[in-house]
Structure 1
Amino acid sequence: MSCTELLKKELKKEFPSIDKDLQNYVEGVLSSADDFETSEEIYDAIGEILHEVTSDKTENDIRLLCNRFHSILHPQSNGKVKPQMRKILAAPVNLGEMAAELNSNMEEMTSIWVQGRTDVSKVDAKKLEKAEAKLQQKLEKREGAKTTTTAAPVLQTASASQVLSKKDAKIDAKGQSRSMDIRIENFDVAFGDKVLLQGADLNLSYGRRYGFCGRNGLGKSTLLRMISSKQLQIPSHISILHVEQEVVGDDTIALDSVLECDEKLNELWRREKELSKDPSKADELTEVYQELQLLEADKAPARASIILAGLGFTKEMQAAATKTFSGGWRMRLALARALFSRPDLLMLDEPSNMLDIKAIIWLEKYLQNWPSTLLVVSHDRNFLDTVPTDILYLHSQRIDAYKGNYENFVKTRAERLKSQRREYEAQMAHRAHVQEFIDRFRYNANRAASVQSKIKMLEKLPELKPVEKDFEVTLKFPEVEVLQPPVITLDEVAFRYPNTDRTIFSGVCLGGNSESRICIVGENGQGKTTLLKIIMGILTPTSGFVRHHRGLKFGYFSQHHVDQLDMNVNCVELLQNEFPGRPIEEYRRQLGSFGISGDMALQVVASLSGGQKSRVAFAKMSMANPNFLILDEPSNHLDIETIEALGKACAKFQGGVILVSHDERLIRMICNELWVCGGGTVRSIEGGFDEYRRIVEAEIEAASK
């Protein structure tokens, strides 16, 4: 097999859904093996384009793929630089004559080829010494990396235990239980040595929709896994579906993949096909038809198609094989299968992370009519205000239940904490008053009976614990100098990938300055991330101009920023490796300004929750003191409190901010200008997010008719 065929096969295997034009472009770039002596040169040429094809692969994944491309192009080098070809001379060369001739012509050659210079060195000796020391430090570090390998951190596993009612266990074993409510009482969940829940209770009433919230790292996702894996037992007749893994890619088309997840319906279709071949089975076939009618089987394909369309699948995509989709779209497919199958208990973990705003709005409306029990972990404030009938709040190793949506939960909890605080303070005052009486008359024989009575009364008083204080999350971006406008200008910018006819957008005339709080929205695949990279100069526009203020310094938080952190070091070491030579206190202070303080700053990065890793990524980005922030989906792993803190930090930041997000609450907190990607262009719309939401809802309404 030729190199070209091997490259084509490798590219198609890694990116089954790659656009044909992009595929031709990448293959064209790689067609000239002599242009690339190292895999790093291949990455520089096509790395950014491969990142655009899919959001599932990290930078490390793309670099490994470029290594494989280099091995195919240079099979004899085994990943090393191709050796220079030896040149055989036709005749012997007299080096002495060449040297004499060179000296005689030196003056003439200098005038033509050599830049004139004085013999006095213009190099700063101190700077030179500092640069040499830095180079030596890098060499020592590189040599050390060759001789020693860092052991991968041993990640701990989760475990659960619960107290089971013998009565309920017997009823369940006999198959006599008919209740669809779920009660998991007095259970514990631990993650390695860390206790997440202790003596907790979880009660889910059938038909209710529960929003499950709490701070990052407290065990929400772990609890869902404990339920789905049956480590926490619920009645066996209740069907459970936990949307966590993406659909495996194969030749099954998307619509059939959704239809086949309803096992009962598929079994009836299979029996119908078999029985229709045997005339003697007419009675059985009639029964099958009746069951199919009860299940409204004739409407099943249309229902599956509506769900897929709501989640962003076009008619063409619904007819495409699942193997052609990226990981993000396969996760949407897994969600579509779950919505179609309607289990008794549906558990969703951050479903809005994989969706654009249009799909989120559709999902919110769809789940409002969910017929069975829903348990959803979410940090999307607007989603929690729209979908749940109840809120479950995880804190202090227990779960508290609140009626109503998230807004109602905030009010009720504030009132509950205020009441508890008053009760605690009143009891403390009463205890102090009684204790004062006891201390005053303890040795008075005439008051001995009264003192004993007071002591017994104190012993009988219920022991109230002080009301826990909510730990306030604060994020603080660096103080920077305000740049005079204009800071960023886009003039008639258009972009399409080289050697393709696919124009992402054109005619873009927009700009930003230090006061800008710009939010970019639009459906997935419309060029939001591409636009960010053009603004930062990572990609060059096909036509038009992008102009930057000469003092502009970007801070970029990408969707893959968290995945690209070094997972084998602790947080302080991570900053130390990126910005060497500073005091330890400075690294800790930087991490502390993003909520990574105390022992957490010394934890291995791999052991942190998704939200904690995001905060480390923010700390790393901010340590370079950028004066313009580019934030691409920064809220994906953050809890509600941290998202609120991020919104406040962006509002206080003295530089400009451009945000790509699907979190409505965060957009409303930050945005003073809205850019919409779609229809082959990018435009700023009057009316902000309210106007954009109205447009999207009108589109959803029109599509459903």
Structure 2
Amino acid sequence: MATCREFINTEFPLIDDDVKKYVEGILADGEDFENGNEVYEAIGAVLHEMSEKSEDDIRNICDQLLNMMKPNHRSVINGPRKMLEAPIHLGTMAANLETEMEEVKSIWVQSRDDNFRVDAKKLEKAEAKLQQKQEKRSEIKAPTIAPVLQSATASQVTSKKDNKLEAKGSNKTQDIRIENFDIAFGDRVLLQGADLLLAFGRRYGLVGRNGLGKTTLLRMIMCKQLRIPSHISVLHVEQEVVGDDTPALESVLQCDTIRENLLKREKEITSMINKGTGDSTLSAELTEVYAQLEHIEADKAPAKASIILNGLGFSPEMQARATRTFSGGWRMRLALARALFSRPDLLLLDEPTNMLDIKAIIWLENYLQNWPTTLLVVSHDRNFLDTVPTDILHLHTQRLEPYRGNYEQFDKTKTEKHRNQQREFEAQQQHRQHVQEFIDRFRYNANRASSVQSKIKMLERLPELKAIDKEVEVILRFPETLPLSPPILQLNEVSFHYTPEANIFKSINLGATLESRICIVGDNGAGKTTLLKIIMGILAPTSGMRHTHRNLKFGYFSQHHVDQLDMNVNSVELLQQSYPGKSVEEYRRQLGSFGVSGDLALQTVGSLSGGQKSRVAFSRMCMGNPNFLVLDEPTNHLDIETIEALGKGIAKYTGGVILVSHDERLIRMICKELWVCGNGTVHSIEGGFDEYRRIVERELLEAQSK
């Protein structure tokens, strides 16, 4: 294992400690692997996330790991191959084999030595050891196994008029109207009797709590389970681009099938003309192809594709690289670039900012503000929803409610609307009570019989108003901390590199206290996560000094914490595994402080939503009572309400906080100091996030002008 550990450290210098332990735990059962494919299936997905290596490179690494664990291993599939020299009669062969087996059996029974008899105790011990090893392996692998999902189903009512227009092919509308539709996920109804109207050219933000069915709705539209006019092109950015030898820029250009087909036809016609083909129509067709290429501005397509890729963080060198050389996160960016370049009639985006740094998010916000067709986007980034959408669709209580304006306007309108509805409900309840008292008082009074009957009919005619169902407020409570005398944390002339040829940081000087609220920003790959690990002592500086208070205790929330939770146990059992010896009440109290209470705490972790899993991860992190929080992209799985709760919880926390995040709203809520990471250095910005945003926008303008 020592050899494997050194090899992993060499190939994946940025690998997280938790991930490394997980990989080593799987490799500890190396004798169970039959070939390199089994090793790849066990750890390949995790290794892809840790680097930008291609699939072939990862498979080669898995083969080398197997050879280290089993130096004498030879991969044999279905035994050695034999060439038959003559025909074989299978019936005769079977009869002879049966006779031979009887003879062998009798010889074996007669000549068997007692020394070769199986020791029952040893056999039982070996079987127990094998079972224990298999159980251990299944426990280690459990976090990577996604829970089996039930399939979603949809139904809708369509008008006869629309059906006739669709059948004739005369439906030319660009608006999308889906009326009276239902969506269920297994036995659970997500939407019932809902209506969805998307006007062409408008940008819609789809919002609602986690787990209500926003992503499912996008998939139902994309796979045409919810019917829309057949002439409307739809694109859902959900899966990453498949890696091959195609350069990134060429991969984007290939999305324009009209341009690709015209260029292909141009080459075919030119080749035939050069070969001397005497068809007189070829020249006319070539002229027509040139006219169409000019009409769609085919010559400008590479520049447009390059602008999109550059905005999403692809440098000129990266644009020329094969798609197979990119990691999953960069392939998702490439999928987004292809969607933006192809410009479908309806573009569906699900959390597009999760894979982007702040510079790319700002570029995408600006780009989508001029989007020419219809856009439907699911996002939990409050600032993105304030900037991009022209309309908001609120998913709640199994229906969709449309609002004009961005998220800020929606929030104000919804709050005022609910306040008015509640007032109307309360006024009606008082009126009902007053009328009912009159009825009860004079019910048996003959002189008032007509009045009583009139009042009863009036009550029956009153519309039935319902009280507003208030969504449960999410509250995150971080532990109390004791004050520490400074200095708390200092980095003096710190430099760091994985290889001497490439410095990540050089001579940085930073400091933090328990009052610090620091946000680290910078481009992807600038070293933000590496800096966090140096701060916590996970990585040692190659030069310089790191000083920390002897009582400083870090709480670390990494990007992979949620994915590394044990999915087969409930939340209480998860805390018991990490912090054994406490009472069940104490575990439940800890989970309750992060909104995981009641039956929710007894559900298996795998059945929880992404936001609920994040809260469980926060709860486990804080069980050790840290006095300094280090949070690396904590908002990726959280809905807007939980992000707000996280900001409020951190504001009340008495310890120090260092945060890496691209959520502008959260940064503005809590951070008092901004560290910009890039070009081998880290420096603080005066003026905070506003100044950083101005710098980024200036850089984007300069890049566009070139």
Q: Do Structure 1 and Structure 2 share a fold, with TM-score over 0.5?
A: yes
Counterpart of 1:613 in structure 2 is 613
Separation in structure 2 between the aligned mates of residue 558 and residue 340 of structure 1, nearest angstrom: 33
Distance change >3 Å, CA 221–CA 354, structure 1 → 2: same
SS state at 2:654 partner: coil
The equivalences for 1:114-513 within 5 A come to 146=135, 154-279=148-273, 280=280, 281-498=282-499, 500-513=500-513
Separation in structure 2 between the aligned mates of residue 642 and residue 668 of structure 1, nearest angstrom: 16
SS state at 1:276 partner: helix
Distance change >3 Å, CA 77–CA 195, structure 1 → 2: farther
Distance change >3 Å, CA 56–CA 190, structure 1 → 2: farther
Separation in structure 2 between the aligned mates of residue 390 and residue 38 of structure 1, nearest angstrom: 49
Counterpart of 1:72 in structure 2 is 67
Separation in structure 1 between the aligned mates of residue 612 and residue 168 of structure 2, nearest angstrom: 46
Counterpart of 1:626 in structure 2 is 626
Separation in structure 1 between the aligned mates of residue 252 and residue 440 of structure 2, nearest angstrom: 75
Distance change >3 Å, CA 25–CA 686, structure 1 → 2: closer
The amino acid across from 1:160 in the alignment is A
Distance change >3 Å, CA 425–CA 572, structure 1 → 2: same
The equivalences for 1:642-653 within 5 A come to 642-653=642-653
Q: CA deviation at 1:64?
A: 11
Separation in structure 2 between the aligned mates of residue 517 and residue 185 of structure 1, nearest angstrom: 48
Kindly indicate whether the alpha-carbon contact (under 8 Å) linking 1:239 and 1:344 is maintained by their aligned counterparts in 2.
Answer: yes
Separation in structure 2 between the aligned mates of residue 264 and residue 64 of structure 1, nearest angstrom: 37
Kindly indicate whether the alpha-carbon contact (under 8 Å) linking 2:350 and 2:379 is maintained by their aligned counterparts in 1.
Answer: yes
Separation in structure 2 between the aligned mates of residue 438 and residue 540 of structure 1, nearest angstrom: 82
Separation in structure 2 between the aligned mates of residue 616 and residue 54 of structure 1, nearest angstrom: 22
Separation in structure 1 between the aligned mates of residue 189 and residue 596 of structure 2, nearest angstrom: 20
SS state at 1:417 partner: helix
Separation in structure 2 between the aligned mates of residue 477 and residue 68 of structure 1, nearest angstrom: 45
Q: CA deviation at 1:570?
A: 1.9
Q: CA deviation at 1:194?
A: 1.8
Say which is worse superposed, 316-325 or 148-157, in terms of deviation. 148-157
Q: What RMSD in Å do the two structures reach over aligned CA positions? A: 3.1
Counterpart of 1:101 in structure 2 is none
Say which is worse superposed, 611-620 or 278-287, in terms of deviation. 278-287
Say which is worse superposed, 437-446 or 578-587, in terms of deviation. 578-587
Deviations 1:502-550 (A, max 9, x none): 0011111001111000100000000000000011111111111111111
Distance change >3 Å, CA 24–CA 174, structure 1 → 2: closer
The amino acid across from 1:484 in the alignment is S
Provide the aligned length of Structure 1 versus Structure 2.
611
Deviations 1:310-337 (A, max 9, x none): 0000000000000111111000000000
Unpaired stretches in structure 2, ≥5 consecutive residues: 15-23, 31-44, 75-127, 274-279
SS state at 1:630 partner: strand
The equivalences for 1:67-106 within 5 A come to 69-76=64-71
Q: CA deviation at 1:582?
A: 2.0
Kindly indicate whether the alpha-carbon contact (under 8 Å) linking 2:443 and 2:449 is maintained by their aligned counterparts in 1.
Answer: yes
Kindly indicate whether the alpha-carbon contact (under 8 Å) linking 1:38 and 1:70 is maintained by their aligned counterparts in 2.
Answer: no
Kindly indicate whether the alpha-carbon contact (under 8 Å) linking 1:674 and 1:685 is maintained by their aligned counterparts in 2.
Answer: yes
Q: CA deviation at 1:39?
A: 5.0
Say which is worse superposed, 486-495 or 587-596, in terms of deviation. 587-596
Kindly indicate whether the alpha-carbon contact (under 8 Å) linking 2:48 and 2:58 is maintained by their aligned counterparts in 1.
Answer: no
Question: TM-score scaled to structure 1, two decimals?
Answer: 0.82
The amino acid across from 1:216 in the alignment is N
The amino acid across from 1:286 in the alignment is T
Counterpart of 1:690 in structure 2 is 690
Unpaired stretches in structure 1, ≥5 consecutive residues: 12-17, 27-35, 43-49, 80-138
Q: CA deviation at 1:470?
A: 2.8
Q: CA deviation at 1:614?
A: 0.9
Q: CA deviation at 1:394?
A: 0.9
Kindly indicate whether the alpha-carbon contact (under 8 Å) linking 2:494 and 2:507 is maintained by their aligned counterparts in 1.
Answer: yes
Q: What is the percent sequence identity of the aligned residues?
A: 67
Deviations 1:266-323 (A, max 9, x none): 1111112222234431222222222222211111010000000000000000000001
SS state at 1:251 partner: coil
Separation in structure 1 between the aligned mates of residue 26 and residue 357 of structure 2, nearest angstrom: 38
Counterpart of 2:542 in structure 1 is 542
Q: CA deviation at 1:211?
A: 0.8
Separation in structure 2 between the aligned mates of residue 506 and residue 450 of structure 1, nearest angstrom: 90
